[in-house]
Amino acid sequence: METPNFSIEFFPPKTAEGAEKLRATRAKLSELHPKYFSVTFGAGGTTQRGTLDTVREILAAGEDAAPHLSCVGGTRESLRAILAEFKASGIKRVVALRGDLPSGYGAAGEFRYANELVEFIRAETGDWFHIEVAAYPEVHPQAKSPRDDLQAFVRKVNAGADAAITQYFYNADAYFQFVEQARKAGVTVPIVPGIMPITNYTQLMRFSDMCGAEIPRWVRLKLASFGDDTASIKEFGLDVVTGLAQRLLAGGAPGLHFYSMNQAAPTTALWQRLV
């Protein structure tokens, strides 16, 4: 079995103070030697400049980085310009997503789905970029059915994706079943599980409601029982997510993608238990 590849995700800071904090976070997480860092992209491209600036800073530090690229609200012309800027900056890796419509957007732009964006990137840039796409082991919240969701994923891969990163989840069986179904559908690219550390119960519930990630009932009740005891929430959360990550790796997952939330401590604590 190949050595698992670990990667870490940030969101672009919106203030100078946030940028300083992220530099400190990245310095600590760089000590873990991840394969690359990824940087998210706001709805409708609202953080496009911050995403690119953050990725450039990571590259300048000698590490690999991948900007997220959303096609929602974009045109061929605007996306062509972004891709040219990525290439000029020496970026070789990108996470291609449909993205969510921000409030107030009436139209989705020239691209409706992520597979169309992947096709466009390949047509414009050939093999320049290593393209990651999203996968949803527990089904995308807007999908008509699990079957439709799987077919959408297959289309993204067939359009030219090199690998996939999943939405976070806490049920390993959902991941293993999704991978099995994807393989039966002809998908051969790596499907890397997304890992969300548990540090804040209220925040986790809010995120999970938005993205459709299921929190197992026993985990939810246990977290709720701790109330404002943040130390117990973090300790229990670390145990839960460590067990999940260990099972995923033992079951053949090609690596792990950590949603850091721009904090070093939760990802570091998890990493130290896994190595």
Instruction: Give residue 42's pLDDT.
Output: 66
Asked if 31 is an active-site residue, the reply is: no
Catalytic residue among 9, 119, 132, 138: 9
Question: Domain 5-274, what fold?
Answer: TIM Barrel (3.20.20)
Domain spans, the chain: 5-274
Query: Which is it for strands 130-135 and 163-168: parallel, antiparallel or unpaired?
Result: parallel
User: Taking a C-beta distance cutoff of 8 angstroms, is the pair 66, 39 a contact?
Assistant: yes
Output the tens digit of pLDDT for each of the chain's 275 residues.
467 889 999 999 989 999 999 999 999 999 999 999 999 986 555 567 889 999 999 999 999 999 999 887 788 999 999 999 999 999 999 999 987 655 444 455 678 889 999 999 999 999 999 999 999 999 988 889 999 999 999 999 999 999 999 999 999 999 999 999 999 999 999 999 999 999 999 999 999 988 889 999 999 999 999 999 999 999 999 999 999 999 999 999 999 999 999 999 999 999 999 98
Instruction: Give residue 101's pLDDT.
Output: 57
Angle between helices 16-30 and 48-60 (to 10 degrees): 40
Residues belonging to the chain:
275
